[in-house]
Amino acid sequence: MEAVAKLRNVPTSPRKMRLVADLVRGKKVTQALGLLRFEANIGAEKIEKLLLSALANWQQHNEEERIEDANLYISEIFVDEGRQLKRLRPAPQGRGHRIRKRSNHVTLKIDTKVEKLSSKGAKEAATTENPKADAKS
């Protein structure tokens, strides 16, 4: 079961927020929370809060399951550009320089990861299906 959380109009440039998003993409939720807790970037606080919101959304839909047993991971996280506030800064000789105050939108999805067969279990399954492969080698 997938859970989604969105954070809109964050007053940080999308480029700075993507650095933090790339840090946690594809990681397990518990590992991502640990990384975000000690990350110095200002966007880490906001993404940590968003991840906790996605966990609460997942728990709302799956009341009978425990978060610890669900094997949750960040399946998708992306940062889109938000609106820009355009301001003028005084410059020498009566001119004005344009200042662009950027914002962004962050979307985060968490999902449960299905465990794959171990390599030993996969080898056993392959040999039981095709016994002639053992005879040739």
CATH code where residue 116 lies: 3.90.470.10
The answer, yes or no, to whether residue 24 has pLDDT greater than 70, is yes
Rounded to two decimals, the pTM is: 0.79
111 to each of 26, 27, 32, 55, 85, how far by Cα in Å? 10, 11, 14, 10, 35
Average pLDDT rounded to a whole number, residues 32-51: 95
Q: In 3D, which of 80, 112, 78, 105 has the Cα closest to residue 3?
A: 112
- Token pair of 3, please? 């859970």
Look up the domain containing 67 and give its range: 3-136
Q: How do residues 87-121 score in pLDDT, each as one tens digit? A: 999 999 999 999 999 999 999 999 998 777 666 65
pLDDT in tens, 60-82: 998 888 888 889 999 999 999 99
Q: Tell me the average pLDDT of the chain.
A: 88
Domain count of the chain? Answer: 1
Whether residue 32 is predicted with pLDDT greater than 70 in this model: the reply is yes
pLDDT at residue 127 tops 70:
no
